Chains A and B, each alone.
Chain A
């Protein structure tokens, strides 16, 4: 089955700086890669996703890149703000068996 590795487990950045979270996956059949943000005690919320026919996608301060050859994808957050503090999960899917999640990155925005 699929295996998703996520790094780092904790990331602390100064407000206004950029944050980058990286994930690798093992199943070359995976073709859908979403990122979720989870605040304490809340549900995971989709913030951006990318499909395997696309190399990069951007939505305001958030961007995701995908390298299919190397089987890795990354989340980039620019101009970080206090409300960006949360746990971020990457995930991969090849079809009906649901999402395989990374172990999460706790992002801390320092004022």
Chain B
């Protein structure tokens, strides 16, 4: 059973479109995250979400918005996609916000044409 699952695995779309990436975890964790990994493999936190508290990395454009229908899901919506949004997006989860290991999903490779 996959602990943290993301869909789709690949997403190819045109500039200016709006798209969503879904994430689900079956670990019973209460905190979920989105990370962006750019072409140089640099991993950067975008959001963390715990008990309806959202913490946003200040460098993330407001075109990106996380949505959590329940504790096991944290989806990522992206409006007006730009070329620079091309990257691999990883969802992760942990039990608690501090001192706990984070488990990553397999990633979604987003390519903007």
Contacts and interface: CB of A to CB of B under 8 A. Distances in A.
B45 A100 contact: yes
B41 A34 contact: no
B43 interface: yes
A42 interface: yes
B111 interface: no
A32 B101 CA distance: 9
Interface residues of A, number: 25
Contacts of A87: 41
Interface stretch (B20-28, B49-57, B72-80): B49-57
Q: Give the size category of B's interface with A.
A: 20 to 34
Contacts of B41: 38, 87, 103-104
B101 A97 contact: no
A46 B102 contact: yes
Given A43-B90, A98-B33, A31 B45 contact: no
